Amino acid sequence: MIGDRRNPPPKTADPALIEAFGTMATAILSDNLARLSGVVGLRQFHRKGKLVGSAFTVRTRSGDNLAIHQALGQVRPGDVIVVDGGGDTSRALVGEIMKAIAESRGAVGFVIDGAIRDTAVFAAADFPCYARGYTHRGPYKNGPGEINVPVSIGGLVIEPGDIVVGDEDGIVAFPQSVAPALLEAARAQAAKEADIMKTISEGRYQNEYG
């Protein structure tokens, strides 16, 4: 039933692609996604660490994390747990315990369009966590919720299995089908920008914008 679906996990991305995107800045990826395919409004709560993996999506009622608990029983190594909590920050959807469970399952990070708690634990760790806000108030566990359905995160629709990349500038996500072409374009832009930086350091830069 729509509103309470539990779909099987999506196909995970090619590990070689995941490794390659781990070297790419989100700003460059965003530039090559028509500057439209990025999440807005979420902030980084972890100490450091690049986020890159396959989206394992959850959609839940505001302030309720039953579906997230159920999802944690299905996640696989390399999954990014992407939660559409409707942007509500009145109750935390994940905290220290959920983080520990996710890490033990091999998940590589959280993207939460909602609130978290136990922020000191995240701030002292390198397990990537992006969220809209934080609060000490805990969640309900009544449902409903959905697992592995399309979700809306900070203005971006993320499909199960999409590749998710996050760094200090934010988060982008895109279908696996476009990943090879995107990687090629991003590498070309990175090389071009490296050349520009070299001309600046050598005093040879010419401003093309006047």
Q: What is the dihedral of CA 12, 122, 155, 162, to 10 degrees?
A: -10
Could you tell me which of 170, 161, 129 has the C-alpha nearest to residue 55? 161
pLDDT of res. 87: 97
Report whether 126 contacts 151 (CB < 8 A).
Answer: no
pLDDT of res. 210: 58
pLDDT of res. 64: 97
Tens digit of pLDDT at every position of the chain (210 positions): 677 888 899 999 999 999 999 999 999 999 999 988 799 999 999 999 999 999 999 999 999 999 999 999 999 999 999 999 999 999 999 999 999 999 999 999 999 999 999 999 999 999 999 999 999 999 999 999 999 999 999 999 999 999 999 999 999 999 999 999 999 999 999 999 999 898 888 888 787 765
Listed in order, strand segments (DSSP E) in the chain are: 38-39, 43-44, 51-60, 79-84, 92-94, 109-116, 129-134, 145-147, 151-153, 156-158, 163-167, 170-174
pLDDT of res. 5: 84
Report whether 110 contacts 97 (CB < 8 A).
Answer: no
pLDDT of res. 164: 98
All domains in the chain, ordered by first residue: 36-175 (3.50.30.40)
